[in-house]
Amino acid sequence: MAHTLLSSSLESLGEQFARRDWEYLDLPVGSQIEKAFAWPGEASEQIMICVHKGPDIQELFHRQDFFFFNFAYKGNYGALSYRHDNHITICENECYIGQPFTGYALTAHSQEEIIIIGILIQKESFFKTFLPVLSSDPKLFHFFLAPQNDEYSDDFIHLKFEDPFCIRTLLEMMVVEYANPREDTQKILQPMVLTLLMQAARQYRNSVSVPENETLSDQIIRYISEHTDTVSLSSIAQHFAYHPNYISTLLHQETGRTFSEILLEQRMDRALSLLRGTSLSIEEIAAMLGCSNSSNFYKAFRKYYGCSPRKYINT
């Protein structure tokens, strides 16, 4: 029964995707207007589940106004981008994560059926709901904000999952839920998508190699950047099994800065990215950075940059 429901849901969403009108629209991209796909779903939808199904898939090269996660559920497919390695193969149980406005096209030709499950996420929903949870990794943080701060970053993430069971199970649950919608479907999808993205973030961290010659101070600074919202000297000391005084002295000797100065720099760098790239409120940004309240964030920002966050936004 469960297999039949999944099969019918995949078939239904595949048919919907084939019928969907992907008309190009004029959309603002920073300081200019570009042809791109707008959000294809209902305005009330924060998340869409799409299924590409068939032996041959050939998309026109395009840009789009949303984040997407494409998973090779069955078979392999090609992904075309603007990057120097502009054509890569996404094998079964691998995924391609794309940013808003990055150039992209799907290509697939096979003797057998290919199934690609796509998760589409509206930008504003992504920044408010998902980015705060995913922002602990500095590289991921800047990847997700790059299209907002630097027009046409044209970057992507290609991941191979060591154990795809959990990912496939989550995607199957989302496919069935979206193909058989109820009033609370979007609320049901939200935690499942968050879990999916957290699994992807874990795999991404595991796939990034650490430099062999990384010093202890480098490791500490990386740890600070990954825990800007909760880090303290005592938590660093506990993690690395050193006395807090030793950590403090080491950082000052090797970087010329105190722990507080390093942490402030990390937080203010993230604050700028969030102010430039999202519509999050000052209160939401302060909470993401680990500030006890927005007043403390205002004071720290003004002292560091010489103006208030609101003035910075308006200049």
Q: Are residues 274 and 133 in the same domain?
A: no
Q: Are residues 77 and 178 in the same domain?
A: yes
**Given pLDDT bands bounded at 50, 70 and 90, which one contains residue 202?**
confident
Q: Are residues 105 and 240 in the same domain?
A: no
Question: Bigger pLDDT: 13 or 211?
Answer: 13
Q: Are residues 179 and 249 in the same domain?
A: no
Domain that holds residue 270: 216-314
Domain boundary among 179, 207, 235: 207
Q: Are residues 202 and 225 in the same domain?
A: no
Tens digits of residue pLDDT in 51-90: 998 888 877 777 888 999 999 999 999 888 766 557 889 9
Domain boundary among 155, 174, 207: 207
Q: Are residues 193 and 221 in the same domain?
A: no
**Given pLDDT bands bounded at 50, 70 and 90, which one contains residue 31?**
low
How confident is the prediction for the chain on average, in pLDDT? Answer: 87
Which tokens belong to 305? 């940059």
Question: What is the pLDDT, as a whole number, of residue 29?
Answer: 60
Domain boundary among 147, 181, 207: 207
Q: Are residues 102 and 123 in the same domain?
A: yes
Question: What is the pLDDT, as a whole number, of residue 240?
Answer: 94
Average confidence (pLDDT) over 269-283: 87
Q: Are residues 20 and 122 in the same domain?
A: yes
Q: Are residues 25 and 170 in the same domain?
A: yes
Question: What is the pLDDT, as a whole number, of residue 30?
Answer: 61
Number of domains in the chain: 2
Tens digits of residue pLDDT in 152-194: 555 788 998 878 999 999 999 999 999 999 999 999 999 999 9
Q: Report whether pLDDT(13) > 70.
A: yes
Q: Report whether pLDDT(246) > 60.
A: yes
Distance CA 24, CA 21 (A): 9
